[in-house]
């Protein structure tokens, strides 16, 4: 159901306040061909009403001839900022960038963040943004989970469906996504709510069973039959199953890049206002699928790049897969048990 401009403006003001926007700061709104007009209009109203100096930078789309779908995460090659020094300079000169275009997994984004500019991605439909407007409680919960990840040396994931995956940890930092940017150089995504890291390079081993009802992204589909991944030395060496497995394998092979099959980020969802079932209510092109990525108690893993965590893998293929009903443990202590989050104790 649509929401009013007033509701979205108020949500923007909440997120901007949490992001410590101050009068006189410079905000650049980054837009593209797929930017939602209501999200843009309300962002402009909210930032100006809070006394910011506001610019809009609109950039043309790229990669459309290479991607197999219109999803913004279907191909992570060049971005509209690649080689565009004028645009990069404008963003580096901003205190805050509101990314309504989807700028991800790029060296240009890292360069902008390194300058101290904050970047907040917001591309979900307006009603999803309002429903999952972040709170300080979201931040506290995600940071507590990330702290547990940071101190761990192994993540093990099991399920009744047959998953048994071991991932050594320590080479990469824990990353927290709670929906706003309250520190210089921080990137986040509204809406979100999860803690993640990356396994040590080449260290993940075991078996992952993507069960019926688990979700493939960017395919934005619920699996109708199990898919079994045999993971060895950090890569999915085999993808077995029926038609769903064939579709996943063929899609990944289309990138002609063996790095597409590497285990990327691993973690779990912590957003109680996100729902596993929501993806089935939307047209595939209407949503990025953040409900699926963030719903509380999922085990979210990905295949593909790890440069967002400081690694060197930059494959254009990126698959996010949230699983239900898994048990996730850190150094033998459960943090998620059969799809239910185990809260951190003081």
- Separation between Cα atoms, residue 257 and residue 260, nearest integer Å: 6
Same domain, 203 and 270: yes
Range of the domain at 45: 5-131
Query: What pLDDT shows up at residue 345?
Result: 66
Same domain, 172 and 195: yes
Same domain, 98 and 239: no
CB-based contact 293:192 (threshold 8 Å): yes
Query: What pLDDT shows up at residue 242?
Result: 97
- Separation between Cα atoms, residue 211 and residue 324, nearest integer Å: 8
Give the bridge partners for 210, in sequence order: 227
Same domain, 155 and 123: no
Same domain, 310 and 252: yes
Q: Closest Cα to residue 333, out of 68, 65, 151, 128? A: 151
Of the three residues 66, 98, 131, the one that is the final residue of a domain is 131
3-state secondary structure of 36: coil
Cα–Cα distance list, 125 to 65, 96, 285, 290 (Å): 25, 21, 10, 10
Tokens of 67: 């991607």
Same domain, 106 and 186: no
Same domain, 176 and 266: yes
Query: What pLDDT shows up at residue 9?
Result: 98
Give the CATH number, domain containing residue 60.
3.40.1830.10
Same domain, 288 and 140: yes
- Separation between Cα atoms, residue 319 and residue 216, nearest integer Å: 7
Label the pairing between strands 227-232 and 205-210: antiparallel
CB-based contact 15:134 (threshold 8 Å): yes
pLDDT digits (tens, 9 = 90+) for 128-172: 999 999 999 999 999 999 999 999 999 999 999 999 999 999 999
Same domain, 107 and 229: no
Detail the DSSP E strand segments found in 225-344. 227-232, 235-241, 263-269, 299-303, 319-323, 326-330, 333-337, 340-341
CB-based contact 152:331 (threshold 8 Å): yes
How many distinct structural domains can be found in the chain?
2
Query: What pLDDT shows up at residue 240?
Result: 98
Of the three residues 131, 149, 180, the one that is the final residue of a domain is 131
Of the three residues 107, 131, 155, the one that is the final residue of a domain is 131
Same domain, 116 and 164: no
Report mean pLDDT in 10-residue bins for the chain, 346 residues: 96 98 98 96 98 97 83 82 94 98 85 97 98 98 97 98 98 97 98 98 97 97 98 98 98 96 98 97 94 98 90 91 98 98 80
Q: Closest Cα to residue 253, out of 329, 316, 190, 170? A: 316
CB-based contact 172:311 (threshold 8 Å): yes
Query: What pLDDT shows up at residue 346?
Result: 58
Query: What pLDDT shows up at residue 71?
Result: 83
Tokens of 1: 């159901």
Q: Does residue 346 lie within any of the structural domains?
A: no
Same domain, 97 and 198: no
**Count of alpha carbons within 13 Å of 147, Cβ hemisphere only?**
10
């Amino acid at each position: 159901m649509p929401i009013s401009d007033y509701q979205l403006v108020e949500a923007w003001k909440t997120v901007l306040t949490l992001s410590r926007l101050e009068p006189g700061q410079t905000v650049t709104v980054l837009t593209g061909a797929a930017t939602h007009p209501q999200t843009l209009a309300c962002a402009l109203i909210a930032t100006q009403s809070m006394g910011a100096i506001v610019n809009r930078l609109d950039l043309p789309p790229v990669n459309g001839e290479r991607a197999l779908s219109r999803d913004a995460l279907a191909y992570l090659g060049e971005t509209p900022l690649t080689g565009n020094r004028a645009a990069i300079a404008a963003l580096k000169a901003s205190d805050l960038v509101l990314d309504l275009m989807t700028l991800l997994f790029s060296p240009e984004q890292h360069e902008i963040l390194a300058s101290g500019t904050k970047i907040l991605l917001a591309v979900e439909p307006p009603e999803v943004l309002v429903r999952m407007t972040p709170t300080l409680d979201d931040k506290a919960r995600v940071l507590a989970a990330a702290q547990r990840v940071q101190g761990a040396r192994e993540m093990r994931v099991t399920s009744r469906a047959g998953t048994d995956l071991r991932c050594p940890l320590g080479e990469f930092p824990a990353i927290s996504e709670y929906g706003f940017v309250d520190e210089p150089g921080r990137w986040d995504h509204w809406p979100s709510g999860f803690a993640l890291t990356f396994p040590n390079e080449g260290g993940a081993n075991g078996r992952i069973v993507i069960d019926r009802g688990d979700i493939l992204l960017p395919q934005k589909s619920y699996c109708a039959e199990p898919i079994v991944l045999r993971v060895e030395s950090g890569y999915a060496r085999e993808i077995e199953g029926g038609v769903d497995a064939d579709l996943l394998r063929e899609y990944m092979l289309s990138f002609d890049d063996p790095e597409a099959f590497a285990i990327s980020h691993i973690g779990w969802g912590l957003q109680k206002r996100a729902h596993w079932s929501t993806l089935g209510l939307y047209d595939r092109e209407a949503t990025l699928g953040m409900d699926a990525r963030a719903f509380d108690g999922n085990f979210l893993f990905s295949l593909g790049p790890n440069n967002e965590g400081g690694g060197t893998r930059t494959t254009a293929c990126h698959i996010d897969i949230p699983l239900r009903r898994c048990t996730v443990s850190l150094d033998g202590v459960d943090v998620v048990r059969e799809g239910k989050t185990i809260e951190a104790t003081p």
